Structure 1
Amino acid sequence: MSPTAAALPGVLDALAAAWRLLAHVGGLGDQVVGGGVPSWLTVLTGGALVGASFLFNSLLTDHEAVRAVNGARAALPSPPLLRRAGAAALSAAGVLGLALVLASSVLGPDEPTRNFAILVVWVGWWAGYAMSTYAVGNTWPAVNPWRTLARLLPVSGSRDLPAAWGAWPSVAGLLALVWVEVVSPLAANAPALGALVAAYTVLALAGASVYGTGTWFGRVDPVSRVFRLYGRVAPVQRDADGVHLRLPGTELTERTGGREPGSTAFVVALLWVTTFDGLVATPAWNAVATVVLGPVAPDRALGRAAVSLFYLAAMLVGFAAFLGAYRLAAERSRATVDSFLAPGAVERWFAPALLPIAAGYHVAHFLGYLLTLSPALAGVLAHPLGGAGPARVAVLPAWFGTLELGFVVAGHLLAVWVAHALAMELFPGVLRPIRSQYPFVVAMTAYTMTSAWVVGQPAVTPAFL
């Protein structure tokens, strides 16, 4: 037996043991740790680069020049027949993928690294496909299998969601989904993952039937809102004039945040849940959780309830802190320039600038994850219900962790540009737009340093999970 073959069972055992950690939305610390770069240096470097980017952007005070950069676009050929055929193919692929996920969750192999449902949901969809929405363009309206199926069902649309609820149902949905993903064994238990997907399917179809597909997938469904917002960062954009190629993130400078209540909170929640999912896999989190929970036995019902409530409380407190920091920055920005705008208006106006941060943080967590497990994913795509043989993984070079930290910083640098462009549209003159950004730069620097610290930590199994 060759040395490679002899080592393979050990590699697979290690992957299976670490699977619960790897499938968390930010639990890739073991994949992104740089070789010899101290954590404090990466944190300070990230913060310094954001500050330097702000100083550079402050020199760009020509409103028309900034508009010209953000408005640059090139039309892409998109014949209507080709668009319809492409949309139909994507819809069919989405429904087929959903059916295979449900089937393989019951009929597929028990090993997580060989199960179609687990690999497609976490690696193919939440990692790879999500990246495509901000790196290329948002195709989710066509791919979305629940929307496709909802169109085939009788829709009453007899009930209206109260306007005061705004985007808050999707905020609650996003926080709930990530909390369930963190505290449950969905990454290692295919039947449990299948049950969650089935429940989500029933809820989505029932909601679309009662409230209508436009209302449900526009206001309530958190997944649709996530991909819609990520799509605004992408270079490929579609509007009434057709399909265009633009500089990444520049679409954010034209259509500001939604006016519905909770729209800003959802953007902040998107940023926070990615941070939280990485945070729970750090040694510092485990130390705090151990002190707070003490000798709680997670195999007992009471202990499991205590652990779940602790993680829920931590998620909500962290979200409130992130949202409070952003709102404080918006209020200080308004006060700095003596603006008569309402605080909520300033919050909504600058909220799109947070989206590149969320995208950069997402790719930092998931690119290494996707590349490492892509051979295993290719195997299950060819054999959805089993028979793919031993799972294969790719080994990434040691410097890859530094590259992923670079994505965090790149997202923040793009965010600084978007915020600068938005400020120049909102406030007249030369100095007022620059002064208005002081509080936001402080907040973005804090976000950057927090993200860099989390990504740079060695990954460990989340405490008591």
Structure 2
Amino acid sequence: MRVRMDRRIAALAAFFTAVLAGPVVGRALAHGGNLRAAAGSMSVPTWLFLLTGGGVVGASFLLASFVTDRAFIRTMHEWRRVASARVDGIRTVTRLLSVLALVGIVVIGFLGPADSLRNAATMVVWVGWWAGYVATVYLLGNSWPALNPWRALAEWLPSLDREYPERFGAWPSVVGLLALIWVEVVSPLADEPRLLSWVIVGYSVVTLAGALVYGPDAWFDNVDPVSRVFRYYGRVAPLRRTDSGFELRLPGAALTEPRLADGRDEVAFVVALLWVTTYDGFVGTPVWAEFARAVVGVGVPAQLVYPAALLVGFGAFWGAYRLASRYSRETAGTYLTPEAIGRRFVPSLLPIAAGYHLAHFLGYFISLSPVLTNALSSPLSPPFDPVVIVLPGWFGTVAVTFVLLGHLLAVWVAHATAYEVFPGRLQAVRSQYPFVVVMVLYTMISLWIVAAPDVEPPYL
């Protein structure tokens, strides 16, 4: 029986490696062009991620497996400190300011300089919001409910309050997340401020129309992909707002709670979030550039290659996770279904996505932060020749550290979850085998992407 399971685990590793070796990812000009070039690249020796990647995660699993005291694990994840605070008035002010900021971004995108490095709209969206603000959500806490300008507008407008179809679940948010990335892929949003403003206007129309029909709660809880991204990332953070104030917990402690992912649709969204973080970085590597040139060279349209790779990669990631859930049921010897196991373990993927986002965008944020300040100093006529910070060579090691920290937290969350789900100690340890295989392989892929030099994605 053990030999058979070892073979199945090996098959899982081979499957995951094979699908990732093929055409599974792609991005054309996302955060690209001038912005990507200005941010520079971070180079890390190949031996560093090959020796440390899988080894560190594998060793962390072995060390975690010695922590078998359920009371100790539960005490760590239930530890919290609560501070009472009334923030309703502050929330009203922040939402008002966020609406004004949204309007300002759209206006500046249309009327400001055409150069993306001088336009405050592109700087705020890509550097300030996507690179900087997103990091605060998983490092500190989810402040998006207090800042979401679209929800503020939706709550100020009337609503038809139609019943949201329960059968849709979170699937619209999965489609929406992939669609947003697809738009990012096929259009130079980071290089053309006016196009960015048009996309924001289009997103606003769709969002407000949906909230008008189904109501703000139904729309932003089920359909809006941005709100769901921040809601899940916020579960990684140590701070969370409660009805009475704020709650402080250990990072990732909330990820072991049941019903965080309550169905196949929510599992698919977490996997999609993990996938698009990888997708966002892989296409800046020389391997993708060579592959895209070869495929386009045989007559496949570039406009088809990139979005097709987006879907194929998502399918591969989701298939690999479902396969791990199925093998976990057999290694644990449990009556639980693979779907139930997958729902409980999928939150452990969120620290991986957060760690890779931080590794990928921290240098980007630091490099372009003077450019952001320069653009905001005079939005309609900023100074020419903005200063870009050149990162030192050792900064690549910092990025590797963030990737590893994300994976280490993921291993611990999976370990704590296993002891919440399974009654036997050996059963809990065995249930993690397939997921650790996936994490080890993903660690090596993430580190390789961070270490690879940036190149300009071809053809779009």
Displacement of 1:364 in angstroms is 0.5
Q: Distance in 2 between matches of 1:315 and 1:229?
A: 21
Q: Distance in 1 between matches of 2:30 and 2:429?
A: 47
**Is the partner of 1:188 in helix, strand or coil?**
coil
Where do 1:347-366 residues align within 5 Å? 347-366=342-361
- In structure 2, what is the equivalent of residue 401 of structure 1? 396
Q: Distance in 2 between matches of 1:277 and 1:294?
A: 23
**Is the partner of 1:112 in helix, strand or coil?**
coil
Displacement of 1:177 in angstroms is 0.6
- In structure 1, what is the equivalent of residue 218 of structure 2? 215
CA contact (8 A) 1:182 1:277 kept: no
Tell me which of 340, 362, 368 is aligned to 1:373.
Answer: 368
Letter paired with 2:116: P
Where do 1:181-260 residues align within 5 Å? 181-260=184-263
**Is the partner of 1:185 in helix, strand or coil?**
coil
Percent identity over the alignment is 51
Tell me which of 38, 41, 48 is aligned to 1:31.
Answer: 41
When residues 96 and 390 of structure 1 are mapped into structure 2, their CA distance, relative to the original with a 3 A threshold, is farther
Where do 1:23-62 residues align within 5 Å? 30-34=40-44, 37=45, 39-62=46-69
**Is the partner of 2:429 in helix, strand or coil?**
helix
CA contact (8 A) 1:32 1:405 kept: no
Tell me which of 65, 69, 79 is aligned to 2:72.
Answer: 65
Residues 1:105 and 2:112 aligned together: no
Q: Distance in 1 between matches of 2:251 and 2:84?
A: 19
- In structure 2, what is the equivalent of residue 385 of structure 1? 380
Displacement of 1:85 in angstroms is 2.6
Displacement of 1:166 in angstroms is 1.3
Displacement of 1:308 in angstroms is 1.8
Tell me which of 339, 342, 348 is aligned to 1:344.
Answer: 339
Q: Distance in 2 between matches of 1:256 and 1:56?
A: 27
| CA offset digits 1:417-454 (Å, max 9, x no partner) | 00000000000021111110011100111111111111
Q: Distance in 2 between matches of 1:340 and 1:28?
A: 54
**How high is the TM-score relative to the length of structure 1?**
0.89
Displacement of 1:74 in angstroms is 1.7
- In structure 1, what is the equivalent of residue 302 of structure 2? 307
Q: Distance in 1 between matches of 2:290 and 2:98?
A: 41
When residues 30 and 48 of structure 1 are mapped into structure 2, their CA distance, relative to the original with a 3 A threshold, is farther
Q: Distance in 1 between matches of 2:279 and 2:356?
A: 11
| CA offset digits 1:131-165 (Å, max 9, x no partner) | 1100111011110100001111111122x332222
| CA offset digits 1:304-323 (Å, max 9, x no partner) | xx212111111111111111
Q: Distance in 2 between matches of 1:464 and 1:450?
A: 24
CA contact (8 A) 1:29 1:455 kept: no
- In structure 2, what is the equivalent of residue 11 of structure 1? none
- In structure 2, what is the equivalent of residue 167 of structure 1? 170
- In structure 1, what is the equivalent of residue 91 of structure 2? 87
Residues 1:272 and 2:272 aligned together: no
Q: When the two structures are aligned, how many residues end up with a matched partner?
A: 432
**Is the partner of 1:42 in helix, strand or coil?**
helix
Q: Distance in 1 between matches of 2:200 and 2:183?
A: 12
- In structure 2, what is the equivalent of residue 3 of structure 1? none
Letter paired with 1:387: P
Displacement of 1:224 in angstroms is 0.4
**How high is the TM-score relative to the length of structure 2?**
0.90
